[in-house]
Amino acid sequence: MGSVVELYEALASAPDERTRARVIAAAFERLEERYPHLPDLVTNQQLRETELRLQKEIEQVRADLSVRIEQLRGELKADIEQLRGEVKTDIEQLRGEVKTQIEQLRGEVKTQIEQLRGEVKTQIEQLRGEVTTAIERSRNTLLMWLIPLMFAQVGAMAALVKLL
């Protein structure tokens, strides 16, 4: 039996119910042999029901994801705020430490400036003393030479006046 018409003729010519049942069973057997995946086929209704179930599950997953995303956002906001607080605290602590170090450095710089001023004043006074001493020596040396020269000039002038 290769076609539906042949199946009809075999059923119509069957003498009794038992032969008709055998023809129908043989037709089903050939159908299953020809289409082995036939039991796996679904109807449109079954397909629609499965589609609706999947859509419902997808919506449920979306809702669950939306809730979880909101939870994560809240947790992240809390973590961010906590980190901001910690960073602010650290920054304030560092500012305090920097201010302390700056004040300490200012004190050290002032101390060093005062020491340098003292050293410079001492060196200036030392130089003044040395310069004053050198000037005194130069003056004394000049006087030592100048006075005898003046006496020599006076003597030379007196000798010239006598000669004239």
pLDDT at 47: 87
Which residues constitute the domain of residue 16? 1-41
Claim to verify: residue 48 and residue 123 sit in the same structural domain? yes
As a whole number, mean pLDDT of residues 5-16 equals: 85
Token couple for 92: 């304030």
Claim to verify: residue 37 and residue 47 sit in the same structural domain? no
* pTM of this prediction exceeds 0.75: no
Question: What letter represents residue 137's amino acid?
Answer: R
Query: What Å distances lie between residue 149 and 73, 110, 118, 161, CA to CA?
Result: 108, 57, 45, 18
pLDDT at 117: 94
Claim to verify: residue 77 and residue 151 sit in the same structural domain? yes
pLDDT higher than 60, residue 81: yes
pLDDT higher than 60, residue 1: no
- Where residue 27 falls among pLDDT bands split at 50, 70, 90? confident
Claim to verify: residue 9 and residue 76 sit in the same structural domain? no
Claim to verify: residue 86 and residue 122 sit in the same structural domain? yes
- The pLDDT tens digits for 52-69 are 999 999 999 999 999 999
Q: What are the backbone angles phi and psi of residue 31, rounded to the nearest 5°? A: -65, -45
- Tally the domains of the chain: 2
Claim to verify: residue 156 and residue 131 sit in the same structural domain? yes
- Where residue 13 falls among pLDDT bands split at 50, 70, 90? confident
Residues above pLDDT 90, as percent of the chain? 55
Claim to verify: residue 52 and residue 133 sit in the same structural domain? yes
Claim to verify: residue 29 and residue 56 sit in the same structural domain? no
pLDDT higher than 60, residue 142: yes
- Where residue 2 falls among pLDDT bands split at 50, 70, 90? low
Name the DSSP class of 36: T
